[in-house]
Amino acid sequence: MKLYWAPQTRASRAIWMLEEAGVDYELERVDLAAPRGEELLAASPMGKVPALVDGDVKMSESAAICIYVADRYASGRLAPAIEDPLRGRFLYWTMYTPAVVEPSMGEKFANVEPNRYRSGWGDFDSMIETWEQALGDQPWILGDDFSAADVMLGSSAVFMRVFNMLPDSAVLSAYADRCLERPGYQKALSLND
Protein backbone atom coordinates (compact mmCIF):
# COMPACT_ATOMS: atom_id res chain seq x y z
CA MET A 1 0.00 0.00 0.00
CA LYS A 2 1.30 3.43 -0.93
CA LEU A 3 0.11 6.78 0.38
CA TYR A 4 0.92 9.93 -1.53
CA TRP A 5 1.28 12.77 0.92
CA ALA A 6 2.80 16.16 1.61
CA PRO A 7 3.53 17.83 4.94
CA GLN A 8 1.02 20.31 6.35
CA THR A 9 -1.88 18.86 4.35
CA ARG A 10 -4.96 16.76 4.98
CA ALA A 11 -2.73 13.76 4.24
CA SER A 12 -1.86 13.69 7.95
CA ARG A 13 -5.38 12.27 8.49
CA ALA A 14 -4.64 9.34 6.20
CA ILE A 15 -1.31 8.67 7.91
CA TRP A 16 -3.04 8.77 11.31
CA MET A 17 -5.69 6.35 10.02
CA LEU A 18 -3.12 3.92 8.62
CA GLU A 19 -1.28 4.01 11.94
CA GLU A 20 -4.50 3.34 13.89
CA ALA A 21 -5.29 0.40 11.58
CA GLY A 22 -1.80 -1.01 12.11
CA VAL A 23 -1.20 -1.73 8.43
CA ASP A 24 2.07 -1.63 6.53
CA TYR A 25 2.32 1.24 4.09
CA GLU A 26 4.85 3.21 2.10
CA LEU A 27 4.87 6.99 1.99
CA GLU A 28 5.51 8.77 -1.29
CA ARG A 29 6.16 12.45 -0.67
CA VAL A 30 4.65 14.79 -3.27
CA ASP A 31 6.19 18.12 -4.18
CA LEU A 32 3.06 20.23 -4.47
CA ALA A 33 4.81 22.65 -6.85
CA ALA A 34 5.82 19.91 -9.31
CA PRO A 35 3.84 18.06 -12.01
CA ARG A 36 2.10 14.91 -10.81
CA GLY A 37 3.01 11.42 -11.98
CA GLU A 38 0.62 8.99 -13.67
CA GLU A 39 0.15 6.72 -10.63
CA LEU A 40 -0.78 9.64 -8.40
CA LEU A 41 -3.18 11.03 -11.03
CA ALA A 42 -4.79 7.58 -11.40
CA ALA A 43 -5.58 7.68 -7.67
CA SER A 44 -6.32 11.39 -7.49
CA PRO A 45 -7.42 12.88 -10.83
CA MET A 46 -7.08 16.41 -9.40
CA GLY A 47 -3.53 15.61 -8.25
CA LYS A 48 -4.42 16.27 -4.60
CA VAL A 49 -3.05 14.54 -1.53
CA PRO A 50 -3.73 12.28 0.20
CA ALA A 51 -4.02 9.62 -2.45
CA LEU A 52 -3.92 5.91 -1.73
CA VAL A 53 -2.90 2.99 -3.92
CA ASP A 54 -3.71 -0.42 -2.43
CA GLY A 55 -3.32 -3.05 -5.12
CA ASP A 56 -6.04 -2.32 -7.67
CA VAL A 57 -7.69 0.24 -5.38
CA LYS A 58 -6.78 3.81 -6.21
CA MET A 59 -8.47 6.65 -4.37
CA SER A 60 -8.16 10.08 -2.81
CA GLU A 61 -9.95 12.33 -0.28
CA SER A 62 -9.12 11.89 3.38
CA ALA A 63 -12.63 10.90 4.55
CA ALA A 64 -12.96 8.29 1.80
CA ILE A 65 -9.53 6.89 2.66
CA CYS A 66 -10.43 6.71 6.35
CA ILE A 67 -13.65 4.81 5.60
CA TYR A 68 -11.89 2.46 3.17
CA VAL A 69 -9.02 1.63 5.55
CA ALA A 70 -11.38 1.19 8.50
CA ASP A 71 -13.70 -1.12 6.55
CA ARG A 72 -11.02 -3.16 4.83
CA TYR A 73 -8.45 -3.45 7.61
CA ALA A 74 -10.19 -2.68 10.91
CA SER A 75 -13.92 -3.33 10.53
CA GLY A 76 -15.57 -3.58 13.90
CA ARG A 77 -12.57 -1.87 15.47
CA LEU A 78 -12.33 1.50 13.68
CA ALA A 79 -15.69 1.36 11.89
CA PRO A 80 -18.98 -0.26 12.81
CA ALA A 81 -19.91 -3.13 10.50
CA ILE A 82 -22.45 -2.41 7.75
CA GLU A 83 -25.27 -4.05 9.73
CA ASP A 84 -24.40 -2.31 13.01
CA PRO A 85 -26.97 0.37 13.98
CA LEU A 86 -24.05 2.74 14.71
CA ARG A 87 -23.01 2.63 11.04
CA GLY A 88 -25.21 5.59 10.07
CA ARG A 89 -23.86 7.71 12.92
CA PHE A 90 -20.32 6.69 11.96
CA LEU A 91 -20.79 7.74 8.33
CA TYR A 92 -22.44 11.02 9.31
CA TRP A 93 -19.61 12.02 11.65
CA THR A 94 -16.85 10.81 9.31
CA MET A 95 -18.25 13.12 6.62
CA TYR A 96 -18.93 16.00 9.04
CA THR A 97 -15.44 17.44 8.59
CA PRO A 98 -15.47 17.86 4.79
CA ALA A 99 -19.20 18.57 4.56
CA VAL A 100 -19.75 20.87 7.56
CA VAL A 101 -16.60 21.78 9.52
CA GLU A 102 -14.36 22.85 6.63
CA PRO A 103 -16.96 24.92 4.73
CA SER A 104 -18.06 26.72 7.90
CA MET A 105 -14.43 27.38 8.85
CA GLY A 106 -13.73 28.73 5.38
CA GLU A 107 -16.73 31.01 5.59
CA LYS A 108 -15.65 32.28 9.02
CA PHE A 109 -12.03 32.73 7.95
CA ALA A 110 -13.05 34.69 4.85
CA ASN A 111 -15.45 36.84 6.89
CA VAL A 112 -18.39 35.78 4.73
CA GLU A 113 -21.70 36.65 6.33
CA PRO A 114 -23.13 33.27 7.39
CA ASN A 115 -26.56 32.20 6.28
CA ARG A 116 -27.47 28.83 7.76
CA TYR A 117 -30.49 28.57 5.47
CA ARG A 118 -28.51 29.16 2.26
CA SER A 119 -25.58 26.92 3.14
CA GLY A 120 -25.89 23.17 3.48
CA TRP A 121 -23.40 23.28 6.35
CA GLY A 122 -25.36 25.79 8.39
CA ASP A 123 -22.84 28.16 9.91
CA PHE A 124 -19.83 28.04 12.20
CA ASP A 125 -21.78 28.45 15.44
CA SER A 126 -24.34 25.75 14.63
CA MET A 127 -21.52 23.45 13.48
CA ILE A 128 -19.77 23.84 16.85
CA GLU A 129 -22.99 23.48 18.85
CA THR A 130 -23.98 20.30 17.00
CA TRP A 131 -20.53 18.78 17.47
CA GLU A 132 -20.41 19.63 21.20
CA GLN A 133 -23.86 18.13 21.78
CA ALA A 134 -22.94 14.94 19.93
CA LEU A 135 -19.78 14.45 21.98
CA GLY A 136 -21.37 15.41 25.28
CA ASP A 137 -19.41 13.67 28.00
CA GLN A 138 -18.34 10.76 25.79
CA PRO A 139 -14.64 10.30 25.04
CA TRP A 140 -15.26 9.65 21.31
CA ILE A 141 -17.96 10.55 18.82
CA LEU A 142 -19.45 7.02 18.87
CA GLY A 143 -19.14 6.65 22.64
CA ASP A 144 -16.38 4.70 24.35
CA ASP A 145 -14.71 3.43 21.19
CA PHE A 146 -12.34 5.45 19.00
CA SER A 147 -13.18 5.23 15.27
CA ALA A 148 -12.17 6.60 11.89
CA ALA A 149 -14.73 9.37 12.46
CA ASP A 150 -12.53 10.60 15.32
CA VAL A 151 -9.56 10.80 12.96
CA MET A 152 -11.49 13.23 10.80
CA LEU A 153 -13.08 15.20 13.64
CA GLY A 154 -10.00 15.15 15.87
CA SER A 155 -7.79 16.56 13.14
CA SER A 156 -10.31 19.38 12.71
CA ALA A 157 -10.43 20.15 16.43
CA VAL A 158 -6.64 20.32 16.62
CA PHE A 159 -6.43 22.41 13.43
CA MET A 160 -8.94 24.90 14.80
CA ARG A 161 -6.98 25.12 18.05
CA VAL A 162 -3.70 25.77 16.24
CA PHE A 163 -5.30 28.55 14.20
CA ASN A 164 -7.21 30.04 17.15
CA MET A 165 -10.58 29.11 15.67
CA LEU A 166 -11.60 26.65 18.37
CA PRO A 167 -14.10 28.45 20.60
CA ASP A 168 -13.87 28.33 24.37
CA SER A 169 -15.32 24.83 24.57
CA ALA A 170 -14.34 22.46 27.37
CA VAL A 171 -15.86 19.58 25.38
CA LEU A 172 -13.94 20.19 22.15
CA SER A 173 -10.74 21.19 23.92
CA ALA A 174 -10.69 17.95 25.93
CA TYR A 175 -11.49 16.03 22.75
CA ALA A 176 -8.55 17.64 20.93
CA ASP A 177 -6.31 16.71 23.87
CA ARG A 178 -7.43 13.06 23.74
CA CYS A 179 -6.75 12.94 20.01
CA LEU A 180 -3.29 14.46 20.43
CA GLU A 181 -2.43 11.73 22.94
CA ARG A 182 -2.89 8.97 20.38
CA PRO A 183 0.43 7.55 19.10
CA GLY A 184 -0.88 7.33 15.53
CA TYR A 185 -1.65 11.04 15.47
CA GLN A 186 1.73 11.84 16.98
CA LYS A 187 3.38 9.85 14.18
CA ALA A 188 1.40 11.77 11.55
CA LEU A 189 2.22 15.11 13.13
CA SER A 190 5.92 14.24 13.35
CA LEU A 191 6.06 14.13 9.54
CA ASN A 192 4.87 17.74 9.19
CA ASP A 193 8.33 19.24 9.47
The domains of the chain, with CATH numbers, are: 2-76 (3.40.30.10), 87-183 (1.20.1050.10)
CB 11 within 8 A of CB 63: no
In tens digits, the chain (193 residues) has pLDDT values of: 999 999 999 999 999 999 999 999 999 999 999 999 999 999 999 999 999 999 999 999 999 999 999 999 998 899 999 999 999 999 999 999 999 999 999 888 888 887 777 777 788 999 999 999 999 999 999 999 999 999 999 999 999 999 999 999 999 999 999 999 999 999 999 998 7
Cβ burial, residue 9 (10 Å; 0-12/13-18/19+): middle
CA 41 – CA 32 distance, rounded (Å): 13
Q: Rounded to whole angstroms, how far apart are CA atoms 137 and 169?
A: 12
Q: Are the beta carbons of 52 and 65 closer than 8 angstroms?
A: yes
Residue 25: is it exposed, middle or buried by C-beta count within 10 angstroms (0-12/13-18/19+)?
Answer: middle
d(CA 57, CA 192): 26
Longest dimension (CA), the chain: 46
Give exposure, 128-162, as e/b (b: 16+ Cβ within 10 Å).
beebeebbeeeebbbeeebbbbbbbbbbbbbbbee
